[in-house]
Amino acid sequence: MFKLAAFTDEISQDLERACTVLNEFDAAGVEIRGVWDIPCHKLTDAQVEEIKRIVENHGLEVASIGSPFGKCELEDAAAVAEHMEILRRCADIGHALGCTLVRGFAFWGHGVRQKPWDRMLDAYEPVPAVLEEKQVILGLENEAACLVGTAGHTRTFLDLLECDRVKALWDPANHVQDPDSDDEPVFPNGYEALRKDLVHVHAKDAVVGADGRRPNVFLGEGICRWREQLQALKDSDYKGHVSLETHVDPERFPESLRDTYGHYLSGEGREGASKVCLAWLRDAMAALS
């Protein structure tokens, strides 16, 4: 059975507080993207040691290093080179925290529909050697703002890369938010495209509005078909993490969830919304057949 995790910075920049909240929902892991308002790749060795201490004291594990690797301009050689160093640093941080999975992306997309696959492959050429050197896996996340935004894009790029150390990090909401997904249903099509290479999953939800906007919404309120996604993960014997990436504010809490989850709406920032989503995920996982 897969395990529940969450981005700590969506709950609180105070890692101690975020871990305490995760304990309340029997979560297993944390995803480290930013702590104490510091992006993960800029953490010092001493700060990494403090993260390790806090996480272990709460009986949690580090599920993924949420690096920004690949969120750069494809045609900017200096930026691409800088991001290779970000990948190396995040790999080292991962090892210090007992984690061999680093999240990454494939370049800002700017709405380009015809993907420059050859140039993308050229820019990714150093990646397999870095991953081998550092003995880590890169979880390639589909991100609507990047050139790889949908499950289909991810499938194409993974097949072109042919690298055993680059796997699929599936984010159904990001898929929905890329217009290229309109002809590729998020489930089962999106999920099935990535199932055999799946290494990590991000849990958030989204809708497509009549005005063309594609906002995030509370889990279960969008079109990502999370109950079916979770059942499919269990049926396929996926052993990784499903990691909450809240991405909604308490002010957008729907009345339809008030009676069941309204009492979780407490805390600063997105803590309340995160607790609602953690409770929803916990309950949805418990209801799986």
Whole-model pTM: value is 0.98
Tell the burial category of 273 from Cβ atoms under 10 Å away from its Cβ (0-12, 13-18, 19+).
Answer: buried
pLDDT in tens, 157-177: 999 999 999 999 999 999 999
Cβ-based neighbours of 161, under 8 Å, separated by 6 or more: 121, 124, 127, 128
The 8-class DSSP code of residue 108 comes to B
Which residue is it, tokens 């995920």?
281
- CA dist list (Å): 75 to 109, 120, 132, 166, 282: 11, 9, 25, 22, 43
At 22, is the pLDDT very low, low, confident or very high (cuts 50, 70, 90)?
Answer: very high
- Name the domain count of the chain: 1
Task: Give the distance from CA 209 to its chain's centroid.
Answer: 23
Cα distance between residue 233 and residue 191, in whole Å:
9
Cα 54 from Cα 134, distance rounded (Å): 25
Neighbours of 122 (CB within 10 A): 12
Helix boundaries (H) for 195-236: 226-235
CATH number at residue 195: 3.20.20.150
Q: Provide the 3-class DSSP secondary structure of residue 72.
A: coil
At 223-239, the pLDDT tens digits run 999 999 999 999 999 99
Chain segment 59-114, per-residue pLDDT in tens: 999 999 999 999 999 999 999 999 999 999 999 999 999 999 999 999 999 999 99
With contact defined as beta carbons under 8 Å apart, do 12 and 6 qualify?
Answer: no
Residue 119 is part of which domain span? 3-286
Q: How far is CA 264 from CA 25, 199, 233, 250, 260, in A?
A: 11, 30, 27, 10, 9
